[in-house]
Amino acid sequence: ILNVEQSPQSLHVQEGDSTNFTCSFPSSNFYALHWYRWETAKSPEALFVMTLNGDEKKKGRISATLNTKEGYSYLYIKGSQPEDSATYLCAFIGVDDKIIFGKGTRLHILP
């Protein structure tokens, strides 16, 4: 059974601080990795689609890296703001078109 693990499960960060969290996935049969932000009472919003080993993507204060050989991706948030409070999901897509989501990292930004 393929497993996608996200850690930590929950995180409290002071406003203005930077933070990062991890998505671990199977290193074989990799096709793509997606990151999503899911705010309470809203729909998941795509952040990044990552496909190549060594990929680094950035959107404003948020960036992500990908290591397909060792099976992990990091999401970084620089200078956390209250609006960053959300659950961050990663999704592993295998060459067989199966999509497996992690359970998410719930980020709380403390004012």
Closer to other proteins by Cβ: residue 93 or 107? 93
Query: Which residue ranges make up the site for other proteins (CB under 8 A)?
Result: 31-32, 34, 42-46, 49, 51, 89, 91, 93, 97-104
Nearer to other proteins, 95 or 110 (CB): 95
- Least separation in angstroms between CB 82 and other proteins: 23
In three state form, how does the secondary structure of the chain look?
Answer: CCCCEEECCEEEEECCCCEEEEEECCCCCEEEEEEEEECCCCCCEEEEEECCCCCEEEECCEEEEEECCCCEEEEEECCCCHHHCEEEEEEEEECCCCEEECCCEEEEEEC
| C-beta closer to other proteins: residue 43 or 60 | 43
